[in-house]
């Protein structure tokens, strides 16, 4: 029997009701359930999770979760990001690794959760994990699609809204990869993140994960074949609705 301590893994769905581009989206009904409910149902079947809950500062979100038997924790209304909200959860519940499962990712599934967790189980060096998926060349120019490049071992080199890597010849390798905004944090890394000031590259790209890289905290990037659609606009909402309708009709 191994003498190593089993890591306790907590999945957290930070749910802010007053989003800027699509207010109230986390409770908006999508195929008969609130958007955040899809995220909860997509994650809860992963056997590697010890705990899964919603973290919010909004009473309507708390009430919805209570009505549908979804574990929920009320948190401060002063948090500037989901990462800060998860840090508050970290101070209140015991776990070694915390997952950031964003409430606007209704296509999230158990395999995404498993991939976020696996690096922590296989390598004690892992501090932060995230995901990537292959991206079509035509989509790489969209600044709303975040790209990532990694080294040969899967450690992140950089994240950008620009098409990276720059190709001198069209369609030349390596391929583009889309970054999926789902994360795993070891407790120590999350504690350090909230103590750090926003960094120049983070502010230039408006990508908070760059704060880790600029401060020498490595990020392990796992590849998935299952893309997701983060719902930020009405167009995103329509695209996800069509996908869910087509899958339910199969």
What's the pLDDT band for 2 if we cut at 50, 70, 90? very low
The values of phi and psi at residue 129, to 5°, are -130, 155
Residue 132, pLDDT > 70, answer: yes
Look at residue 202 and tell me whether its pLDDT is greater than 80. Answer: yes
Would you say the pTM of this structure is higher than 0.75? Answer: yes
- For residue 171, pLDDT over 80 is answered with no
Domain 9-248 superfamily per CATH:
Spore Coat Polysaccharide Biosynthesis Protein SpsA; Chain A (3.90.550.10)
Structure tokens at 213: 């890289």
User: How far is the C-alpha of 168 from the C-alpha of 171, rounded, in Å?
Assistant: 9
- pLDDT score of 244: 84
Residue 172 Cα distances to 3, 139, 203, angstroms: 48, 15, 30
Q: In degrees to the nearest 10, what's the CA dihedral of 136, 108, 145, 34?
A: 130
Domain ranges of the chain: 9-248
Q: What are phi and psi of 186, to 5 degrees?
A: -70, 150
φ/ψ of residue 72, rounded to 5: -145, 145
| DSSP state letters, 123-176 | -TT--EEEEEEEE-GGGGG-TTS-EEEE-TTSBEEEEESS-SS--SSTTPSSPE
pLDDT above 70 for 4: no
Q: How confident is the model at residue 3 (pLDDT cuts 50, 70, 90)?
A: very low
CB 202 within 8 A of CB 211: yes
Q: Rounded to whole angstroms, how far apart are CA atoms 249 and 239?
A: 16
Q: What is the mean pLDDT of residues 144-156?
A: 97
> Given this model, what pLDDT does residue 13 score?
98
Asked if the model's pLDDT at residue 1 lies above 50, the reply is no
pLDDT digits (tens, 9 = 90+) for 36-84: 999 999 999 999 999 999 999 999 999 999 999 999 999 999 998 899 9
pLDDT at 248 over 70: no
pLDDT tens, residue by residue, 85-128: 999 999 999 999 999 999 999 999 999 999 999 999 999 999 99
């Amino acid at each position: 029997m191994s003498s190593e301590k089993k890591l306790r893994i907590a999945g957290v769905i930070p749910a802010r009701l007053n989003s800027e581009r699509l207010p109230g989206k986390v409770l908006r009904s999508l195929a008969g359930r609130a958007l955040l409910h899809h995220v909860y149902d997509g994650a809860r079947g992963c056997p590697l999770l010890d705990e899964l809950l919603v973290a919010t500062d909004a009473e309507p979100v708390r009430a919805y979760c209570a009505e549908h038997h979804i574990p929920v924790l009320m948190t401060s209304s002063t948090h500037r990001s989901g990462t800060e909200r998860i840090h508050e959860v970290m101070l209140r519940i015991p776990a070694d690794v915390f997952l950031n499962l964003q409430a606007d990712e209704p296509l999230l599934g158990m395999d995404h959760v498993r991939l976020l967790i696996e690096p922590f189980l296989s390598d004690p060096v892992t501090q932060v994990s995230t995901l990537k998926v292959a991206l079509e060349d035509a989509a790489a120019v969209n600044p709303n699609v975040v790209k990532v490049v990694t080294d040969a071992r899967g450690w992140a080199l950089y994240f950008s809204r620009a098409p990276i890597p720059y190709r001198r010849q069209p369609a030349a390798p390596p391929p583009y990869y889309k970054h999926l905004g789902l994360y795993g944090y070891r407790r120590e890394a999350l504690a350090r993140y909230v103590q750090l000031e926003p960094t120049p590259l983070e502010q230039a790209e408006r990508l908070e994960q760059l704060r880790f890289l600029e401060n020498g905290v490595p990020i392990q990037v796992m590849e998935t074949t299952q893309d997701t659609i983060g719902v930020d606009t009405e167009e995103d909402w329509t695209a996800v609705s069509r996908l869910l309708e087509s899958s339910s009709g199969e």
